[in-house]
A and B are shown apart, each in its own frame.
Chain A
Amino acid sequence: MNYPVIVDVTLREGIADPEGATIERALPALGFVGVSHMRAGKSFRMDIDAESESAALEKAAALAERLLSNPVIENASARSGAKG
């Protein structure tokens, strides 16, 4: 069966994020105040053919670790993409 999965890739804690910082700095000029700790990241959507949802998530976590993220600077996590 095909399971929809979403993988989120974010920079590890302590790794500088110039993109997030730039976005955060732009917000007050647009009238959005009180927004802090902005971090930019990426998300990937895919369908994974597997026996169960947990097997699909496991597969997603493995491919996220190997290709979608660089573990030196990024964390990756997989979650269900099923629409609740």
Chain B
Amino acid sequence: MTIGVVVFPGSNCEYDALVAVQSLGVDAEFIWHTSTDVEGFDGVILPGGFAHGDYLRPGALARFSPVMEAVAAFASSGGAVLGICNGFQVLTEAGLLPGALQKNIGLTFLCQPTTLIVQSTSSVLTRGATKGQELVVPINHFSGAYTCDDATFASLEAHDQIVLRYKENPNGSRGDIAGVCNVEGNVVGLMPHPERAMSTLLGSDDGRILLEGFVRAPVGAR
């Protein structure tokens, strides 16, 4: 079992993600964004940061990094893909997840713990959690307001794709959405940082519940 952590120029949470996965007893390696395959990996994480400087829009340039074609192919073959924060923005820009992330309401950069409520346990990220469970996980973003049109929102609800909601909406996200998955449940994106909630010494270890689910059984969530 090896998890790949994609590194774009401007990523800055790749070590956090790598060490978090390794702390669960699972091998993890970096994948540079110019790689054209993700062969040998059992799961792929797109970490937080400011890929390609977030120029144009967060994720807009990263989606055209060579590695993203391989990530898309991996995802469509059922591989487990997790986008955290900027990684979530990249996945929406790439069309691997529905919706978009906009500037926070109030135009404030938010860096604070949030309480999340598990909505669905049929994604690779939340399969180890229970429905309704509350998890304390920090956020750290400027563009985290989840946005989508009415039809997409209805479809998300109908297909159980809303994975996590904020207990108290910090950023103006539609429907208090903190994370969503694709219909199959093997591609998940969330704005909060589970890799920063791995130890009670740092405020919370609730991120372990999420990442353990992701690394234990990465393929075939549903």
Q: Mark B79-106, 1 if CB is under 8 A from A, else 0.
A: 0000000000000110000111011111
Number of interface residues of A (CB under 8 A): 11
Q: Does B114 contact A (CB under 8 A)?
A: no
Compute how far the CA of A15 lies from the CA of B145 in the bound complex, rounded to whole angstroms: 11
Compute how far the CA of A35 lies from the CA of B57 in the bound complex, rounded to whole angstroms: 27
Contact of B105 among A14, A16, A68, A70 (CB under 8 A): A16
Residues of the A chain whose Cβ atoms lie less than 8 Å from the Cβ of B113: none
**Minimal beta-carbon separation of A70 from chain B (angstroms):** 6
SS of B interface (majority): loop
SS of A interface (majority): loop
**Minimal beta-carbon separation of A48 from chain B (angstroms):** 18
Q: Which residue of chain B is the closest to A66 with respect to CB atoms?
A: B64
Contact of B102 among A16, A67, A68 (CB under 8 A): A16
Residues of the B chain whose Cβ atoms lie less than 8 Å from the Cβ of A73: 100, 102, 147
B92 touches A72 (CB 8 A): yes
Q: Does A18 contact B (CB under 8 A)?
A: yes
Residues of the B chain whose Cβ atoms lie less than 8 Å from the Cβ of A70: 57, 60, 93, 100
Contact of A18 among B56, B93, B107 (CB under 8 A): B107
Residues of A within 8 A of B (CB): 14-16, 18-19, 22, 67-68, 70, 72-73
Q: Beyond the given A16-B105, A16-B147, A72-B148, could you list 5 further A-B residue pairs with CB under 8 A, ordered by the A residue number? A: A18-B104, A67-B60, A72-B92, A72-B98, A72-B147
Residues of B within 8 A of A (CB): 56-57, 60, 64, 92-93, 98-100, 102-107, 145, 147-149, 172
